[in-house]
Amino acid sequence: MWQFNEVTAIEYRRERVYHIAFDDGLEGDVDFSEYVGKGPVFAPFDDVAFFRKARIEGGTIAWPNGADVAPETLYEKIANANK
């Protein structure tokens, strides 16, 4: 269960996938393909060069155009994948 955990590390893996680590030790790969085409803020995800420019900002993964994904969403994706 997510308890205001923050992203502490990200590592690009392939295509639209980053490995994400949280401050409580939970980590795993997250595929961001589902965000492609979901509004103008995620439109640049079509460009792998842009997608690779992610950084940690505000406790989550973010891109230069202001796109980000809530840390609780990422945490849930990783926790469910590890079940």
Q: Is the per-residue pLDDT at 2 higher than 70?
A: no
Q: Do 20 and 30 form a contact (C-beta atoms < 8 A)?
A: yes
Rounded to whole angstroms, the Cα distance separating 28 from 41 reads 24
Question: Confidence class of residue 43 from pLDDT cuts 50, 70 and 90?
Answer: very high
| Positive/negative CA dihedral, 15, 17, 19, 21 | positive
- Tell me how far the alpha carbon of residue 41 is from its chain's centroid: 14
Q: Is the per-residue pLDDT at 61 higher than 80?
A: yes
According to DSSP, the β-strands at 27-31 and 55-57 are unpaired
Which CATH number is associated with domain 7-81? 3.30.2020.10
Element containing residue 38 per DSSP (H, E): none
Question: Confidence class of residue 82 from pLDDT cuts 50, 70 and 90?
Answer: confident
pLDDT of residue 83: 72
Q: Is the per-residue pLDDT at 24 higher than 80?
A: yes
Domain ranges, ordered by start, for the chain: 7-81
For the chain, percent of residues with pLDDT exceeding 70: 98
Mean pLDDT, rounded, for 61-76: 97
The residue written with tokens 């990422």 in the block is 74
In this structure, how many other beta carbons lie within 10 angstroms of the beta carbon of residue 42? 18
